[in-house]
């Protein structure tokens, strides 16, 4: 496994998952994630990036972890979605049912796998 340099979350809000429009590929929906800053731990980076990109505030379960390339993703149970957040004007957030993520052409297979595994964990 490569060195972990990015951290993100699988934000779960009720029975939905929160995805965000990709900056590099605007047609794609991705999980919120970003670079871990120097001196920052991955869990704090995941919370920060999720808040900046989606406006989601919640509780991270540090025991539910998924890895994809150099990114670590934590399960976040979202308590609140802010109307105004840092990247609101740059990205569109999308709330989707777990099964709709699987059927979406806008979501890459690697993200679908993480969402599918998260759903299994929650059942």
Q: What is the extent of the structural domain holding 88?
A: 6-116
- Please indicate, yes or no, if residue 112 is contained in any of the structural domains: yes
Q: How far apart are CA 42 and CA 121, in angstroms?
A: 21
CATH number at residue 52: 3.90.79.10
- Please indicate, yes or no, if residue 19 is contained in any of the structural domains: yes
Phi-psi region of 14 (alpha: psi -120 to 50; beta: other; left: phi over 0): left
- Please indicate, yes or no, if residue 123 is contained in any of the structural domains: no
Strands (DSSP E) contained in 51-109 are: 56-68, 71-81, 93-97
pTM of the model: 0.93
pLDDT in tens, 14-71: 999 999 999 999 899 999 999 999 999 999 999 999 999 999 999 999 888 898 888 9
pLDDT in tens, 69-120: 889 999 999 999 999 999 999 999 999 999 999 999 999 999 999 999 999 9
Question: What 3-state class would DSSP assign to 19?
Answer: strand
φ and ψ at 23, to 5 degrees? -75, -45
Number of domains in the chain: 1
**Tokens of residue 19, six digits:** 């995805």
């Amino acid at each position: 496994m490569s060195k972990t340099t990015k951290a993100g979350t699988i934000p779960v809000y009720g029975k939905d998952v929160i995805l965000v429009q990709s900056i590099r590929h605007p047609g794609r929906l991705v999980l919120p994630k970003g670079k871990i800053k120097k001196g920052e731990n991955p869990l704090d980076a995941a919370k920060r990036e999720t808040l900046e990109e989606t406006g989601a505030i919640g509780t991270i379960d540090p025991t539910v972890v998924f890895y994809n390339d150099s990114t670590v993703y934590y399960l976040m149970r979202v308590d609140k979605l802010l109307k105004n957040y840092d990247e609101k004007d740059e990205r569109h957030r999308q709330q989707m049912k777990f099964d709709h993520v699987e059927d979406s052409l806008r979501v890459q297979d690697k993200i679908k796998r993480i969402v599918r595994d998260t759903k299994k964990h929650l059942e």
